[in-house]
């Protein structure tokens, strides 16, 4: 048996026999090691993680071959409930961090995973979430290479919180930033808005609503790579998560000191989402998304970028939704369905808490 096989055998020796998480699983002893071996190492399974060192190490020459700048991001996930139509907290954690790297033009490569687990969580729930994380990481072409596990007493957390950090490499020549919007640019989005927020409302069961809306949670790095291939000079790009597209557009307008004119008739919104918002008094412009990228691109590249987006599985319903104007500075104005205009400002708080 070679050293690699011995290493894998040693790491897979642990088995968690408990049905629920106990404080012993966070103690640093055998119970914790068995949990990590059984649930996380077996699910994530890659060369860097299997070493079980306190850090993951990489060859810089491999990274340098992809570009000359590193991108680093981190995010925490506290969504309630843990499972919702079309996704779960594990899929969300991988997707969110991959997308935060991708919208900066980076090729996502490696992720970390920190688990804060409440005592009493079923171990099978943790296994399901870990499997979902691995499946989503494989889809995005990234590896979960290091992590941490903490257990807190009952009532000190709500079932499970996840923190993920990610590293990617930005290719030479890519310069995407919120302050690069220019007058005359157009703004594109890759499909329907508000699906994730609507799915969470449905999953919570607080309202007697009957709909079939699923989260739009999906890694966007493949779509964004296709966009950059035909237009390396994308000026601004963000994924519209908490605060929805309204917040993203306001961030662009403020950072670039330009105006943005949004067209309500151009917004891709499902009838089910629109109807839910009317019933509950919500605005779809502020609903969370977990698979939508908003990009500002030169007008002359719009047709080519839009064609590439619509040809991609994650962008079939892509649309041009707005244009960049000189005035009013740092304002987003929407031309409404009724021929009027209204200011689209940033919310002071959240329409829906704990949606990611």
Q: Please calculate the CA angle 136-138-141 and round it to the nearest 5 degrees.
A: 110
Domain encompassing residue 333: 186-343
Q: What is the CATH number of the domain that holds 55?
A: 3.30.1330.10
pLDDT for 4 beyond 70: no
| Residue at 178 is within a domain | no
281-322 pLDDT per residue, tens: 999 999 999 999 999 999 999 999 999 999 999 999 999 999
The yes-or-no verdict on residue 5 having pLDDT over 50 is no
Q: Are residues 162 and 254 in the same domain?
A: no
Specify the pTM. Answer: 0.94
pLDDT at 350 over 80: no
Shortest CA distance to 93 belongs to which of 117, 74, 116? Answer: 74
Same domain, 116 and 161: yes
The answer to whether position 326 is within a domain reads yes
Q: How many domains does the chain have?
A: 2
Domain at 260, CATH number? 3.90.650.10
Spatial contact of 145 and 110, defined as CB atoms under 8 Å apart: yes
| Same-domain check for residues 275 and 327 | yes
Indicate whether 195 and 305 sit together in one domain. yes
List, for residues 143-168, the tens digit of each pLDDT value: 999 999 999 999 999 999 999 999 99
Choosing from 122, 141, 170, the residue where a domain stops is: 170
- Which of 70, 134, 65, 108 has the alpha carbon at shortest distance from 222? 108
The per-residue pLDDT for 13 is 59
Enter the tokens of residue 226. Answer: 């296709």
* The pLDDT value given to residue 14: 77
274: Cβ contacts below 8 Å, ≥ 6 apart: 284
pLDDT reported for residue 348: 80
> Pick from 351, 33, 21, 19: which is nearest to 156 by CA?
21
Residue 11 has pLDDT above 60, yes or no: no
Chosen domain end from 115, 144, 170: 170
The per-residue pLDDT for range 48-73, each reduced to its tens digit, is 999 999 999 989 998 999 999 999 99
Provide the pLDDT confidence category of residue 1 given band limits of 50, 70 and 90. very low
Asked if residues 216 and 191 have their Cβ atoms less than 8 Å apart, the reply is yes
| Residues 207 and 318 both lie in one domain | yes
In a shared domain, residues 124 and 148: yes
Phi, psi values for residue 111, rounded to 5°: -125, 155
Beta-carbon contacts of residue 115 (< 8 Å; ≥ 6 apart) = 40, 126, 147, 148, 149, 150, 160, 161, 162
Q: Which tens digit of pLDDT belongs to each residue from 242-264?
A: 999 999 999 999 999 999 999 99
Cβ–Cβ under 8 Å, residues 231 and 297:
yes
Mean pLDDT of the chain: 94
The answer to whether residue 351 sits within a structural domain is no
**What burial letters (b/e) apply to 249-271, b meaning 16+ CB within 10 Å?**
bbbbbbebebbbbbbbeebebbe
Domain end, chosen from 142, 170, 198, is at 170
Shared-domain flag, residues 61 and 126: yes
Statement to judge: residues 150 and 252 lie in one domain:
no
Pairing between β-strand 186-189 and β-strand 319-325 as defined by DSSP bridges: antiparallel
Is there a single domain that holds both residue 146 and residue 208? no
**Rounded to an integer, what is the distance from CA 233 to the centroid of its chain?**
23
Same domain for 192 and 309, yes or no, is yes
Residue 7 included in any domain: yes
Reference 99, options 308, 331, 332, 288; nearest CA is 288
Is 350 a domain residue?
Answer: no
> What 3-state DSSP class applies to 61?
helix
190 shares a domain with 165: no
Q: Any alpha helices (H) in 153-297, and if so which ranges?
A: 195-204, 221-230, 244-256, 271-280
Q: Pseudo-torsion of CA 173, 178, 180, 186, nearest 10°? A: 100
Q: CA-CA distance, 187 to 343, in Å (whole number)?
A: 17
pLDDT over 80 (residue 6): no
Query: Do 145 and 14 share a structural domain?
Result: yes
């Amino acid at each position: 048996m070679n050293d690699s096989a011995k290493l894998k055998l040693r790491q897979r020796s642990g088995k968690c026999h408990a049905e629920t998480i106990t404080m012993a699983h966070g103690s640093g002893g055998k119970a914790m090691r068995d949990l990590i071996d059984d649930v996380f190492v077996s699910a994530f399974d890659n060369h860097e993680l299997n070493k079980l060192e306190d850090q993951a190490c990489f060859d810089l020459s491999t990274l340098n071959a992809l570009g000359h700048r590193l991108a680093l991001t981190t995010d925490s996930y506290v969504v309630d409930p843990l499972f919702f139509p079309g996704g779960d907290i594990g899929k969300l954690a991988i997707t969110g961090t991959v997308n935060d790297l991708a919208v900066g033009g980076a090729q996502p490569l490696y992720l970390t995973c920190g688990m804060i687990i409440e005592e009493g969580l079923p171990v099978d729930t943790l296994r399901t979430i870990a499997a979902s994380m691995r499946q989503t990481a494989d889809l995005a072409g990234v590896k979960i290479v290091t992590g941490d596990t903490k257990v807190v007493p009952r009532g000190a957390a709500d079932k499970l919180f996840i923190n993920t950090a990610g590293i990617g490499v930005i290719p030479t020549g890519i310069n995407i930033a919120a302050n690069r919007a220019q007058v005359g640019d157009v703004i594109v989005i890759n499909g329907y808005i508000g699906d994730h927020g609507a799915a969470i409302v449905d999953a919570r069961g607080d309202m007697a609503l009957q709909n079939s809306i699923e989260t739009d949670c999906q890694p966007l790095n493949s779509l964004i790579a296709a966009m950059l291939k035909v237009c390396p000079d994308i000026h601004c790009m963000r994924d519209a998560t908490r605060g929805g597209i309204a917040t993203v557009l306001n961030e662009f307008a403020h950072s670039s000191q330009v105006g943005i004119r949004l067209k309500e008739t151009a917004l891709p919104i499902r009838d089910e989402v629109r109807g839910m918002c009317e019933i509950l008094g919500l605005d779809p412009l502020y609903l969370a998304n977990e698979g939508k990228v908003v990009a500002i691109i030169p007008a002359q590249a719009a047709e080519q970028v839009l064609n590439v987006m619509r040809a991609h599985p994650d962008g079939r319903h892509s649309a041009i939704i707005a244009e960049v104007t000189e005035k009013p500075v740092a304002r987003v104005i929407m031309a409404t369905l009724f021929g009027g205009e209204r200011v689209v400002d940033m919310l002071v708080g959240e329409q829906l808490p704990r949606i990611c």
